[in-house]
Amino acid sequence: MTLPAAVTYRRGGLDESRHTVHLAVVDAAGRLLAACGDPDLVTFPRSASKPVQALPLALAAPELPGDELAIACASHAGTPLHLAAVGRLLARSGSTVDDLRCGTHPPFDPQAAAELIHRGQAPTPLHHNCSGKHAGMLLACVLHGWPKEGYTEHDHPLQRHIRELHAELADVPLNAIHTGTDGCSVPALALPLRGAARIFARLADPQPSGDLGAALGRVFAAMTTHPDLIAGPGRLDTTLMPLVPGLVAKMGAEAFYGMGLRDTSQGPLGIAFKVMDGGERARPYVALAVLEALGWPLTPELRALAPAQQYNWAGREVGEVRVDLRLEGAAAL
């Protein structure tokens, strides 16, 4: 195992806190090309699994509009744009908000949350960041002839199919996938980092074959064409994808991140990393550091996503952030 990466916050010349990161870079065949830390770390991608969770829908509905497929892959912020897309997707299966089994939380977007409070309204399951995924799952059930009832349960045909797709794309045995339950009640699947990275490399592959390859291509196109639907204003996925042509990216809870790069000298690459303490503030620093290590030039717009200098509320500089990321094997890329 190589040394893990680290994101260190410094104040007054001293290290104040540190996030440890494991990372894997693979090609579309699953060959490990570079790593920091343990590329075989088994961990939960959480919402970074959403592109795979949307594949049953993409397979069954090849003509589905891209914005509706995108919202099925999203961890959205609950803006009117997001809610409208979820509503269209729900209508296609004859479902309503009452059919969603994701639970309820306030919108991630501060303006959307404030507007709900101003109107004296409570959030509904539609505002949950996973409501698009759940609406997509309901439609997938209808199109595949599976019951909508119990669609979140581990033994439902939809969830079994999703586990099989994870195993195939990650190139891991089905019985090696560890299963838990996610925050929105669907199964959460744990994979080795290199397997999760392979999923993103396959997602970025511009020359797929067969029905599954075509569905992966549609998911890639939906996510990269509609980045505003994948996360929301000011959030990393939405901001990063337009700045890096050929990049598909998806965050997962507890500071997991997956990226697929379509245009590199080595062909499509997949990247997956996990910040071990769940510190999501470290995520943009690692994402930019690995892009730079792989030879991608960091423009001022990209650097602004992970500022090195830290300022307090009065505008005074109080510290800095240091990223130590040495990709073992990166020289061959």
Block mean pLDDT (10 aa), the chain, length 333: 93 97 95 96 98 98 98 98 98 98 97 96 97 98 98 98 98 95 98 97 87 96 98 97 97 98 91 98 98 94 96 96 88 49
d(CA 274, CA 162): 22
Place of tokens 């260190």: 8
Q: Which helix (H) or strand (E) holds 274?
A: strand 269-275
What is the token pair recorded at 103? Answer: 């639970």
pTM, to two decimals: 0.95
**267 burial type by CB count under 10 A (0-12 exposed, 13-18 middle, 19+ buried):** middle
- Report which residue type is found at 317: E
**Over the Cα atoms of the chain, what is R_g?**
19
Residues 134-147 as b/e (b if ≥16 CB within 10 A, e otherwise) read bbbbbbbbbbeebe
pLDDT of residue 333: 54
**What pLDDT shows up at residue 245?**
95
Q: Give the per-residue pLDDT at 332.
A: 47
Q: Nearest to residue 162, comparing CAs of 72, 56, 43?
A: 56
At residue 330, the pLDDT reads 55
Task: Look up residue 219 and give its two tokens.
Answer: 């998911």
Tell me, what's the pLDDT at 321? 98
CATH of 5-62+155-332 given 3.10.450, 3.40.710, 2.60.40, 1.20.120: 3.40.710
Residue pair 29/194 in contact (Cβ under 8 Å)? The answer is: no
